[in-house]
Structure 1
Amino acid sequence: MRLFLLVLLFVTMTKSEILQVVKKSERIMKPMGFESLVSTFNSTREARRSVVSGGLFSIVSFDNVPCMAMSGDIGTCYSQRECTNLMGTASGVCAGNFGVCCVVTPSCGGTVTTNNTYFINTGFPATVSGPLMCSVTVNKLAGASELYLEFTNFQIAGPTLGDCTNDTFTVTITGSTSSMTVPILCGNLGNQMYYIDISKATGPFTLKFNLGSTTFARSWKIRIVQFKTGDACAAPSGCSLYFRDPSGTVETFNYNMGQGELINNICINVCFQLQPGFCSIMLTENEFMLSGIAPNDCTEGDYLLANGQRFCGDTLGNGMLVVNQTMSSGFLQIQVCSGNTNPDMDLGFKLNYTQLPCPSSVG
């Protein structure tokens, strides 16, 4: 029991506090056996050791890496004290039980100073009503080149004739010289994502909801991550959406299980990471409804651009399309754009995609 208490104290105390305890507790420490204390610290392989006071004691330290929280969220491994200082919630343990999986959830008026947090509405998962303005400020982290937003939950009032006139969600990139702009979003964006180039931005960044007076139950939970160039999870430059799985689905914003409406004035690159030995993807129409006359009379502003050709109307070609890789970069992309009006309240699309092997690797 005494050993357990001392180990717990050393994990949470500062260096100066530990040295004071060592000086005052010398008689207690010697009967315990110093080797036992060191052995306790060495029992975890997840922790990285650093030596204090000439090697007398080993204080456990560990990297603040992502961890899977008991809540199902992706947290960050911190000490209990660090998690408390960040106003986070400890949800499980990490680093061989020396750390806690900390989930940080700033809300209206909050400031994000660390990586991997969740912006939530007040009282989430309870809903909120309008009118309301709610924002968080995100400080740019050293070396960050990309801001990733994962819409774990996103439900606000949808557009009218394609325009977000009721509720809006905006992202302001301060001090940016990048040509990448973030469109105004609204409606149901649950399980969607957005990558934003911040390599030439100074920050801070503002994520803001402006909710109107329309009667509607709103809620949101947005994971905020900053990546450095070369990080395994970073998207290629210029990609707003990035899919890594060999197969899956891609939807326009506010598709909302076929009950939504295409949002106006959006033009983004949708990218797919190709697995080794794969050179193209096959897009299969689940539902496709853009303005214009199928397959290629796309003068009204809505289109999907692939293989140098625009597609619009109520069908994607003959219902399927093979998109070929045009660059030797390990990924391919399509472009999806919407016009400045949606008088027919066109839905957008939901497409299934599957990667296809390179011809030389078949058989």
Structure 2
Amino acid sequence: MYMNQCFVKLVLICVFLILENESKNAGASNRNGKFFPLGWGIGLVRFENSVCGGADGFEGTCYTRRQCNEIGGVGAGPCAKGIGVCCIIQITCGGSSSYNNTYFTSPNFPTPYPGGSTCTVTIPKCNPDICQIRIDFLAFSLAQPDANGTCTTDAFYVIGGASNVPVLCGENSGQHIYVDFNGDSDIQLVLNTNAAATAASRAWNFKITQIGCDCPTKAPTGCLQYYTALSGTVRSFNYGTTGPQTGTRQLANENYGVCVEMQPGYCSITWGTSPGDMYAFTVTGNTNQAVGNGTIGPPSALSNGNCTTDFVVIPNPSYVNSSLVGPNTDRFCGNGFNSVTSKSLRK
């Protein structure tokens, strides 16, 4: 679904900067046992632990080589004008990391994971002033749900956070979620996989970013997903463009908020289906069970206000020159969708 908003702005993730004083030639001087008399000028090097670009699209953090080795990272090229190294931090099943821009991958990624076990990693806060993490699903491929939309074969869970995260499975590459810390408690990411099930492409690669409590990119409370650009596409988890089939790609028991940042000069968002995709809106128990006139795709298959089980809520909606009023008219379900505008209630 498309959303229209304000100008595109650069998204900055708050990174806590650590300054380290270290002599560029300290290691050599210690090995040679030299003594520098008082008054000799010894250069001290300072650089920020900022985000840097590593190999194969991975982002790292600029550390000294010693720091990178101490935290179990892997150097992927120079940073800070060659003084530091772009340190990539990667963990897998059983690992733990409190460092920013940590990557959680399936064993031997990108080789498909055979499954048959529970894979858990732990994410502590890197700083007392951290409130939230953002998880980017750079790669996320698990077994599909059953015919009722329940993740019975493979499943991804988030445990210990203050915010609710639904159980996920299927194909979710390119999606993201925000999870609030619950006080000082750690957050655990858990994947249960079944070796008996066929999932030829089962693999994952998650980027975990820690966000400070006062960071402007922190998602508002209650937002599992948060979009900040002028326009873009919002997809349900495990969204796919396949036609009618036995069962559904729609995941069961999903209840979460998708938020769009308000921008100066804009007061509404227009929501519509992706052009040319007749299955862009199929919110029912089964895509074979159409609502309305029994046709999938056209707006005439929309059911508005009469949704009691599965539905999407769009606050304060209206069609062109026509407000939607009455009980539950902010609920949308069925197998079609008319473009609507959601106006801000702020003054």
Do both share a fold (TM > 0.5)? yes
1:336 corresponds to: none
- Say which is worse superposed, 250-259 or 90-99, in terms of deviation: 250-259
Is the contact between residue 165 and residue 224 of structure 2 (CA under 8 Å) also seen in structure 1? Answer: no
Name the structure where strand makes up a greater proportion of residues: 1
Is the contact between residue 147 and residue 227 of structure 1 (CA under 8 Å) also seen in structure 2? Answer: yes
Of 207, 211, 231 in structure 2, the residue corresponding to residue 247 of structure 1 is 231
1:290 corresponds to: 283
SS in structure 2 at match of 1:209? strand
Query: What letter is aligned with 1:321?
Result: V
Partner Cα distance (1:76, 1:59) in 2: 20
1:24 corresponds to: 34
Query: What letter is aligned with 1:273?
Result: E
Is the contact between residue 77 and residue 86 of structure 2 (CA under 8 Å) also seen in structure 1? Answer: yes
1:310 aligns with 2:297: no
SS in structure 1 at match of 2:55? coil
Cα distance, 1:60 vs. partner?
A: 1.1
Give matches, 1:193-208, under 5 Å.
193-198=176-181, 200-208=182-190
2:320 corresponds to: none
Residue deviations 1:246-291, cap 9 Å, x none?
Answer: 1110000000345771111111111112332111111111210112
1:275 aligns with 2:274: no
- Structure 1: tracts of 5 or more residues without a match: 1-8, 28-52, 329-363
TM-score by length of 2: 0.76
The 3 A distance-change label for structure 1 pair 275 and 68 is farther
Residue deviations 1:212-246, cap 9 Å, x none?
Answer: 12011210000111111221322122211111111
Pick 1 or 2: higher relative contact order, CA cutoff 8 A, min separation 6: 2
Query: What letter is aligned with 1:65?
Result: S
Give matches, 1:46-195, under 5 Å.
56-141=41-126, 142-160=128-146, 161-173=148-160, 178=162, 180-195=163-178
Partner Cα distance (2:58, 2:98) in 1: 19
1:32 corresponds to: none
Partner Cα distance (2:102, 2:219) in 1: 19
Measured on the aligned residues, the alpha-carbon RMSD in Å equals 2.4
Residue deviations 1:76-103, cap 9 Å, x none?
Answer: 1111222222222222221111111111
Partner Cα distance (1:246, 1:166) in 2: 38
2:310 corresponds to: 301
The 3 A distance-change label for structure 1 pair 233 and 68 is farther
Is the contact between residue 97 and residue 124 of structure 2 (CA under 8 Å) also seen in structure 1? Answer: yes
Larger Rg: 1
Partner Cα distance (1:80, 1:295) in 2: 59
Report % sequence identity.
32
Partner Cα distance (1:169, 1:304) in 2: 25
- Structure 2: tracts of 5 or more residues without a match: 1-21, 275-279, 285-290, 293-302, 318-329
2:339 corresponds to: 320
Cα distance, 1:211 vs. partner?
A: 0.1
Query: What letter is aligned with 1:276?
Result: P
TM-score by length of 1: 0.72
Is the contact between residue 164 and residue 256 of structure 2 (CA under 8 Å) also seen in structure 1? Answer: no
The 3 A distance-change label for structure 1 pair 190 and 57 is same
Is the contact between residue 298 and residue 311 of structure 1 (CA under 8 Å) also seen in structure 2? Answer: yes
Of 1, 4, 11 in structure 1, the residue corresponding to residue 24 of structure 2 is 11
SS in structure 1 at match of 2:24? helix
- Say which is worse superposed, 53-62 or 152-161, in terms of deviation: 53-62
Residue deviations 1:320-352, cap 9 Å, x none?
Answer: 111111236xxxxxxxxxxxxxxxxxxxxxxxx
Is the contact between residue 246 and residue 274 of structure 1 (CA under 8 Å) also seen in structure 2? Answer: no
- Aligned pairs, number: 285
SS in structure 2 at match of 1:278? coil
Name the structure where helix makes up a greater proportion of residues: 1
